Amino acid sequence: PDGGGTALEAEGITMRFGGLVAVADVSLRLEPGRITALVGPNGSGKSTFVNVVTGIYRPAAGQVRFGGHDITGLPDYQVATAGVVRTFQDPRLVPHFTVRENLLLGAHRQLRHSGLAATLALPGAIAEEAAQLALVDAVLALSDLTEVADRPIDTLPYGTRRMAEVGRALLARPRVILLDEPAAGLSEAEMDRLAQLIRDMKAMGLAILLIDHHMDFLAELVDEVVVLDSGRMIYRGDIAGMRGDAQVIAAYLGD
Ligand code: ADP
Ligand code: MG
């Protein structure tokens, strides 16, 4: 193999919960600078697929490779450290912390010199902290959060918290980012801002998986769409093709 560059390859992923097959033999490849949408009805296995890829669940079958290395079944923090980072459907932010503090939490696990080393003020740790703070400012700007950076996150509107969730994931310096319904509950203006952030991440060369239900939002963003139904992949291709696909219409778009 070519080592896969920094692509993430999931091959033949199957995940069961007792008798339920939540994900059935799904293969897909996420490449740098490409946005792949993952869509399908509620319960079709989208979040479970992300949970398998990011080490929250170990699959019953299949393999996840990143940069040519087998990362299947690695614990989630090791998957994140390797550069594969996700956001959650329900934002997981620390309520009384400011936006900036929440973003710093995303950065912190990536610090080589953390904890004791930072306390002892080793030169490497100081340089790294300074670089990290500069990166936080850059991500705040990119996420349109500069103005609210020092406000407690729980005083801000839902859409702003969702942007902070994506910003925090970016601070972990991912190569691959998996966004689980980041646009859920956003206003149109907030969705435009999120779309711009996702375009910026694509331009930065991230490989992106985007779970979402808004077809017009996806149509302007994505390079490829994958449709799940009852855990099985029923379509892979472009959005226009998906909209005309009989199986997709029956399972997902038809109502
Ligand atoms: P989606 O994200 O597409 O809405 P999920 O991946 O959350 O779907 O769920 C796929 C199926 O797996 C659903 O039937 C759901 O009830 C089931 N499921 C998800 N997580 C668990 C779990 N931890 N235990 C048991 N069943 C689960
Ligand atoms: Mg889900």
How confident is the model over 153-210, as pLDDT tens digits?
A: 999 999 999 999 999 999 888 999 999 999 999 999 999 999 999 999 999 999 999 9
Identify the residue with better confidence: 125 or 28.
Answer: 28
Residue 16 has pLDDT above 60, yes or no: yes
Residue 112 has pLDDT above 60, yes or no: no
Q: Which residue has the tokens 């379509």?
A: 235
Model confidence band, residue 120 (pLDDT cutoffs 50, 70, 90)? low
How much distance in Å is there from the Cα of 143 to the middle of ligand 2?
23
Strand order, beta sheet including 224-229: 84-87, 176-180, 207-211, 35-39, 224-229, 232-237
Give the strand pairing for 176-180 and 207-211.
Answer: parallel
Residue 111 has pLDDT above 60, yes or no: no
Angle between helices 158-171 and 123-142 (to 10 degrees): 140
Share of the chain above pLDDT 70, in %: 90
Burial class (CB in 10 A: 0-12, 13-18, 19+), 88: middle
Q: Pocket of ligand 1, candidates 13, 26, 47, 48: which has the most ligand atoms within 8 Å of its Cβ, to mutate?
A: 48
The domain locations on the chain are 1-83+175-255, 95-173
Ligand 1 atom closest to 40 (CA) = 3
**Across 61-65, 94-98, 126-130, 199-203, least confident range:** 126-130
109: how many CB neighbours lie within 10 A of its CB?
Answer: 13
For the Cβ of 211 lying below 6 angstroms from any atom of ligand 1, the answer is: no
Superfamily of domain 1-83+175-255: P-loop containing nucleotide triphosphate hydrolases (3.40.50.300)
Q: Which residue has the tokens 């390079």?
A: 223
Q: Pocket of ligand 1, candidates 13, 17, 179: which has the most ligand atoms within 8 Å of its Cβ, to mutate?
A: 17
Read off the tokens for 36: 């792949």
Read off the tokens for 63: 């393999």
Over residues 60-84, mean pLDDT: 94
Over residues 39-43, mean pLDDT: 96
For the Cβ of 47 lying below 6 angstroms from any atom of ligand 1, the answer is: yes
> pLDDT at position 3, please?
45
Model confidence band, residue 118 (pLDDT cutoffs 50, 70, 90)? low
Residue 2 has pLDDT above 90, yes or no: no
CA 41, CA 251: separation in Å to the nearest integer? 7
Model confidence band, residue 113 (pLDDT cutoffs 50, 70, 90)? very low
Q: Please, are residues 149 and 138 in contact by the beta-carbon 8 Å criterion?
A: no
For the Cβ of 43 lying below 6 angstroms from any atom of ligand 1, the answer is: yes
Our separate counts of H helices and E strands in the chain read: 10, 10
Model confidence band, residue 1 (pLDDT cutoffs 50, 70, 90)? very low
> pLDDT at position 222, please?
97
Q: Which residue has the tokens 């985007």?
A: 210
> pLDDT at position 5, please?
63
**Across 21-30, 130-139, 236-245, least confident range:** 130-139
Across the chain, mean pLDDT equals 90
How much distance in Å is there from the Cα of 12 to the middle of ligand 2?
20
Share of the chain above pLDDT 90, in %: 76
